[in-house]
Amino acid sequence: MSGWRAGPAQWAMVAPVQALLVGVIFLPSLYVFWLSLNKSSFGVDPTFVGLANYAEILSDPYFWRAFRNTVVVVLVVVHLELLLALGAALLFAGGVPARRTMIAIMLAPYAISEVAAVVMWRFMMDPQIGMVSRALAALGLPTLEWAVEPAHGLLLAGLLSVWLHLPFTFLILYSARLALPGDLYEAARIDGASAWQQCLRITLPLLVPAMLVAMLFRYVFAFRLFSEIWLITQGGPARQTEVMAVYLYLEAFRYNEFGLAAATGWLMVVASLLLAIPYLRQMYKRMFAPEGQA
Amino acid sequence: MTRPLHVRLLRHLALAMLVAWSAFPIALVVASSFKPARDIFVHPPRWLFMPTLENYAGLVKRWPDFFHHLANSAIVAAGATLLAVCASALAAYAYSRWRSRALTASAFSMIFIRLIPPIVITLPLFPAVNELALNDTHLVLVLLYATFFVSLGTLVLRAFVDQIPRELDEAAMVDGASPFGVFRRVILPLCAQGMVAVGVFVLVYAWNEFLFAFIFTTTKAKTAPLTLSEMTGAIDGVEWGVLFAATTLQLAPIVAIVVAAQKYLIAGLTAGATKG
């Protein structure tokens, strides 16, 4: 189905969306690039320093710690989340009692703000009064000392992140599973395939594209992680739990090093785009496909 | 097909664990907000107790501004939702019906721009917003929240508009309707489902967002999540009961909306994820 030729009226229709995106995100991020090439602080005129800001952050051990923390948290969070979401999607697709209510419960964390989630998890995990901590201690297991032990702080932030975003990943995989044609399973049953074989040979391979989409989205969005870390550890103790976004925030709004913060920001932009290349390529091919295939 | 008993048991166990994982933290905080102070820290937690409103009374007394901040959240969320849904619907209609290389390029750039992390743009926007005297206003949050959802909104709504037969547009045009007339009288009523879905996406984001509110507001336009974070970080120890009351008030309306709009959310997410 080919479209009508676009004219000025169509540009008027897309103008509000484009104006917001260009004015609020695109032009400011170009300015960030320029800012990253300058030495700049509060109330001081920027002076051009070339790539010095990049050299400085790339030799800053705190930057590398933030980078390493981000990579570890993103990898753990996204893959744990995909695994849980896949399990839940298959379970729900196989039929559950009171399906609508169960889905509503699965969806609920999607509606919770990061701050409210931090309230819940800090209360449950409080080393003194938290019931999960006390239950762990009663079982003789170690508890999370998230305020003092950097790895524990990151783990708690990661758990919280999984909790907040599981509904999104679950829904993507669940609706992809429901969209698989039923006659495939019919044919497999006639051939005598067991439920396990059907899952392994039909469901999982056919779900791969949806899993890739979900994974890519979550990589890009988990990479921005800020609030969970900020609200649990503020990057401490001793700057050991910073992630990229927290590092950027502190450089900009605590140390007033706008040039360094901008260089960090621009590296984040590049990393986000690199992560999304497979998705961008696929979108590009589909959108610029010859008429009739789009 | 009936499953063997042990498989059925395992499935029920898995479902119970998923439900507990999702619902327990929320249920715990909501229940605790109605508990008298001495019952909040009882271990193991007590699910039977005399409900009391003393935590809510404490909230009114000690954090009277919280209700003002809830109202700010509502204003900002409503404004961002309205702006994002209207702008997205209009763009979705154009992208669904008309073609040109430049138009396609602009649709692609929309997806591209959306990948830029929000924190990056706070650097130039912070001084710019101050310069324009827009800091601590509802407007700046409305613009930011709407902008970060117009890409997804346009993609989702485009998938919905694509399903409306073009013959309906053509019939209306034969009757003399302009493109905008067709949009108002044919497209908008027929993609109402998609608009609800997009509206809920924006509403949830704007109601809950922390980072932009933290950077761009201080007192007048401060939103509820900021007050919650202040209560969490109170130096003289956290008043858990009051905090739970505030958290419950913040989360109850939005959870109710998400649960009520479940059907539309799933339809919207499916359209957005498969088509873009």
Chain A, nearest residue to B266 by Cα: A171
Which is higher by pLDDT, B2 or B113? B113
Number of domains in chain B: 2
Statement to judge: residues B34 and B90 lie in one domain: no
Instruction: Name the average pLDDT for chain A.
Output: 91
d(CA A95, CA A92): 5
d(CA A25, CA A272): 14
d(CA B182, CA B160): 15
Report whether pLDDT(B275) > 80.
no
Other CB atoms within 10 Å distance of the CB of residue B88: 28
Report whether pLDDT(A79) > 80.
yes
Please indicate if any CB of chain A lies within 8 Å of the CB of B228.
yes
Statement to judge: residues B213 and B93 lie in one domain: yes
Please indicate if any CB of chain A lies within 8 Å of the CB of B28.
yes
Report whether pLDDT(B272) > 80.
no
d(CA A13, CA B158): 13
Other CB atoms within 10 Å distance of the CB of residue B102: 10
**From A193-197, B5-9, B159-163, the region with the lowest mean pLDDT:** A193-197
Measured in Å, how far apart are chain A's first and last C-alpha atoms?
A: 8
pLDDT tens sequence across B135-155: 999 999 999 999 999 999 999
Statement to judge: residues B85 and B194 lie in one domain: yes
Contact between B154 and B110 under an 8 Å Cβ cutoff? The reply is: yes
Statement to judge: residues B126 and B12 lie in one domain: no
pLDDT for A11: 94
Statement to judge: residues B24 and B138 lie in one domain: no
Please indicate if any CB of chain B lies within 8 Å of the CB of A162.
no
CB contact under 8 A, A166 and B215: no
pLDDT tens sequence across A128-150: 888 888 888 888 888 888 888 99
pLDDT tens sequence across B56-69: 999 999 999 999 99
Statement to judge: residues B110 and B142 lie in one domain: yes
Task: Quote the minimal CA–CA distance from B221 to chain A in Å.
Answer: 18
Statement to judge: residues B70 and B157 lie in one domain: yes
d(CA B215, CA B120): 12
Statement to judge: residues B122 and B183 lie in one domain: yes
Pairing type for strands B98-99 and A4-5 reads parallel
d(CA A226, CA A248): 10
Please indicate if any CB of chain A lies within 8 Å of the CB of B26.
yes
Q: Which helix (H) or strand (E) holds A261?
A: helix A258-275
Please indicate if any CB of chain A lies within 8 Å of the CB of B132.
no
Contact between A166 and A109 under an 8 Å Cβ cutoff? The reply is: yes
Identity of the highest mean pLDDT range in A274-288, B132-146, B229-243: B132-146
pLDDT tens sequence across B76-99: 999 999 999 999 999 999 999 998
Other CB atoms within 10 Å distance of the CB of residue A197: 12
pLDDT tens sequence across B100-127: 999 999 999 998 899 999 999 999 999 8
Please indicate if any CB of chain B lies within 8 Å of the CB of A101.
no
Q: How confident is the model at residue B1 (pLDDT cuts 50, 70, 90)?
A: low
CB contact under 8 A, A258 and B26: no
Of B98, B101, B166, the CB nearest to A10: B98
**Side-chain half-sphere CA neighbours of A251 within 13 A:** 30
Report whether pLDDT(A3) > 90.
no
Q: Which helix (H) or strand (E) holds A122?
A: helix A114-125
Statement to judge: residues B94 and B171 lie in one domain: yes
Please indicate if any CB of chain B lies within 8 Å of the CB of A117.
yes
Q: What is the CATH number of domain A35-287?
A: 1.10.3720.10
Report whether pLDDT(A225) > 70.
yes
Residue B225: give its domain's CATH number: 1.10.3720.10
pLDDT for B276: 44
Other CB atoms within 10 Å distance of the CB of residue A174: 24
Closest-CA residue to B123 (of A96, A25, A89, A69) = A25
Closest-CA residue to A28 (of B150, B207, B139, B147) = B147
Which stretches within chain B are classed as H helix? 5-33, 37-40, 54-62, 65-97, 101-113, 118-131, 138-162, 166-174, 179-182, 188-190, 192-208, 211-216, 224-232, 240-260, 262-275
Closest-CA residue to A172 (of A217, A203, A205, A204) = A217
CB contact under 8 A, A13 and B183: yes
Other CB atoms within 10 Å distance of the CB of residue B127: 12
Q: Locate B57 and state its tokens.
A: 């009374």
From the candidates A2, A4, A5, A21, which should be mutated to test the interface with B, based on the most B CB atoms within 10 A? A21
Q: Which of B11, B36, B52 finishes a domain? A: B52
Dihedral angle sign, alpha carbons of residues A278, A281, A283, A286:
negative
Domain limits for position B16: 1-52
Q: Which of B52, B70, B88 finishes a domain? A: B52
Domain chopping of chain A, boundaries: 35-287
Contact between A202 and A184 under an 8 Å Cβ cutoff? The reply is: yes
Statement to judge: residues B15 and B91 lie in one domain: no
DSSP state of B183: I
Please indicate if any CB of chain B lies within 8 Å of the CB of A196.
no
Q: Which residues from chain A sit within 8 angstroms of residue B117, using beta carbons? A: 223-224, 245, 265, 268-269, 272
pTM for this entry: 0.93
Statement to judge: residues B142 and B42 lie in one domain: no
Task: Quote the minimal CA–CA distance from B44 to chain A in Å.
Answer: 7
Q: Which residues from chain B sit within 8 angstroms of residue A172, using beta carbons? A: 269, 273
Which residues 178-197 in chain B show a CB within 8 A of chain A?
Answer: 179-180, 183
Q: Which of B19, B37, B52 finishes a domain? A: B52
Determine the distance from the C-alpha atom of residue B155 to the mean position of all C-alpha atoms in its chain, rounded to a whole number.
17
